[in-house]
Amino acid sequence: MSFEIPKSSREKLKKKLNFIYDKKTTAEFYPRLEEFIIDFAEKHPDLREQEQDAARLTEKNSVVICYGDHIQSEGDPPLQTLNNFFKNHLKESISTIHLLPFFPYSSDDGFAVIDYKKVNPELGDWSDIEALKQNFSLMFDAVINHISAESKWFEKFKEQEGKYANYFIEADPEKDYSKVTRPRAKPLLTEGDCSRQKTCLDNF
């Protein structure tokens, strides 16, 4: 059975996109966005079932946002310590843990992700994430709009390998970006070398 986005959901999504961009831009790229959503939903029916069964987040929920190493004890993986602390002291007070990036990373306080499929070994492993799930609902930062220059994705992009050739958007070196505000420790753009004598500009 094919998946269809409910009319009410389509209207809500378009309304939000119109607010962020404008009606003309939304009209241009919304059909493609809808194709992506439908394609993903049909490839992952199990996630659709989980969404239907999952309890919605309401004003009754209490959410803690933290990094995996915010609570530590000597000799134990930080994620285990975090779980033990919340389980022993806050189980009756919070329902959800919003865990900030816990993947291997190169900079940007964990947001320059190297590998989305791994847990930073300094924090623990996937079994520790699973253990947290047994006691609390979990939220994660997907970090889908940027990635580490040390990631395999970026390395393959620099080599223009297959599908990875279109994974990143290069900045135009002729344009003036001086008015772009980016509150980070590093410069907005960093120049790098790509294959085929291309110039990559990234902010990782």
Instruction: Give the Cβ contact number of residue 189 at 10 Å.
Output: 16
Q: What is the pTM of this model?
A: 0.69
Q: Which stretches of 54-142 are DSSP H helices?
A: 78-89, 126-135
Condensed to tens digits (0 to 9), the pLDDT of residues 57-104 reads 778 889 999 999 999 999 999 999 999 999 999 998 999 999 999 999
**Average pLDDT of the chain?**
85
Reply yes or no on whether the pLDDT at 53 is more than 60. no
* Token pair belonging to 133: 């799930």
Selecting from 3.30.750.90, 3.40.50.300, 1.10.630.10, 3.40.50.280, what CATH number does the domain 63-140 have?
3.30.750.90
Angle at alpha carbon of residue 60, lines to 57 and 61, rounded to 5°: 55
Reply yes or no on whether the pLDDT at 200 is more than 70. no
Condensed to tens digits (0 to 9), the pLDDT of residues 112-163 reads 999 999 999 999 999 999 999 999 999 998 888 778 989 999 999 988 899 8
H/E stretch holding 202: strand 199-202
Q: How is the chain split into domains, by residue range?
A: 7-53, 63-140, 162-202
